Amino acid sequence: MEVFANFTRLPLAKSAVDFSAIPLPSRQRDFLAKSVDGSPVFLLHDSSSASYVPAVELKSVSARFHCTCQVTTTNDAVEGQFAVVSCRADVPELYELFIRCFGAAIEQLPDVASTTDIHASVIRLIDLFRSLSRPGNRELAGLWGELFVISMCKDPAKAVRAWHADPYERFDFSLPGSWLEVKSTLGEERQHEFGLEQLQLPTTGQAYVASLLLQPLTGGVSVVDLATSITSMLVSQPKLREKVWENVASALGIEFSERLDRRFDPQCAERGLRVFSALDIPAPDAPADPRVTRVRFRTDLSTVHSSVAGSAIDALNDFFA
């Protein structure tokens, strides 16, 4: 079931406690509904005894606990005690992120969830949405390229596990003893910036650089499209789905809504994908002066021959395998 698409077809709630809803996949006591003003609302069944729990309020999301609600679905009508977690109505560009990310977090709740369990999930959601009020930590083209690499792999779960969550990690993808750095650039010149430390070879394993040439395209694929495609292949792995959406949100930050419409041509990206060994990359010598602790440089790979055997896609799959 495509939860977000089904949400868009839901009728508005009759009141703040009377909802038409859809059951969440694998959680028949939890529901997704539409508020009286059209925003998404999660109704999470709470097994704890009713007591006063302060509401949680953030600029874009809110949560109320121990609310008695009427819930009507296609096949049933129930009344029960729920936590009501809502996205603010005037930020429709965030509805899909709210539904997909929090939906993945909810799947990790126990089958019989208490107020404490639900509150912990809400706090994680709030931490995610706080990142949307801060500057993004990655360039859009770089994030798109990393997601594109994941989407091209035979085993996206392995790729997502290896994907960095911290933007200050040295490499985009890390496996024991091996790493993969993804470089994306707009236009036809295959020029990328590196830190010299990014080309240091591991003692064992592999060290690759994936290079992408991106072409803006109005009818192309967005970051959200790529993330949605990836998470659709991780149906039984909610923790990895949550990681994808968390990375997207923290990468785009406060400019999330402005960047949603940026799209690139996936066919052009696939045609222009090259994978190099770190040894192939032209780089300056390490500085002899120990006082020089970091070197960044720009290099042109247009005429560089890759020593990696096989196609770029084969090389990526070999790396993650």
User: Residues 277, 158: one domain?
Assistant: yes
Distance separating alpha carbons of residues 251 and 245, to the nearest angstrom: 10
Interatomic CA distance for residues 88 and 69, integer angstroms: 19
Tally of domains in the chain: 2
Hey, which residues does 86 pair with through a beta bridge? 41, 62
Say if residue 159 is in the same domain as residue 183.
yes
Shared domain check, 156 and 27: no
Shared-domain flag, residues 154 and 247: yes
Residues 146 and 121 placed together within one structural domain of the fold: no
Final residue belonging to a domain, choices 131, 154, 175:
131
**Domain's final residue, options 114, 131, 148:** 131
Asked if residue 288 and residue 221 are part of one domain, the reply reads: yes
Listed residues 102, 131, 160: the one ending a domain: 131
- pLDDT at residue number 265: 97
Whether residue 199 sits in one domain with residue 230: yes
Q: Are 35 and 117 members of one domain?
A: yes
For the entire predicted model, the pTM comes to 0.84
pLDDT score, position 137: 64
One domain, residues 83 and 188: no
Q: In DSSP terms, which residues pair with 88 in a beta bridge?
A: none
Torsion of CA 115, 94, 242, 103, to 10 degrees: 50
What is the extent of the structural domain holding 101?
3-131
Query: According to the model, what pLDDT value does residue 136 have?
Result: 66
pLDDT at residue 57, as a whole number = 86
Predicted local confidence at residue 58, as pLDDT: 83
What's residue 205's pLDDT?
A: 77
**Is there a single domain that holds both residue 126 and residue 148?**
no
Mean pLDDT in order along the chain per 10 residues (321 residues): 87 96 87 96 92 85 94 92 93 88 87 90 84 74 95 95 84 92 92 90 85 95 93 90 89 76 93 95 92 93 94 94 84
93 and 205 both lie in a single domain: no
Considering the domain architecture, whether residues 25 and 88 belong to the same structural domain is answered as yes
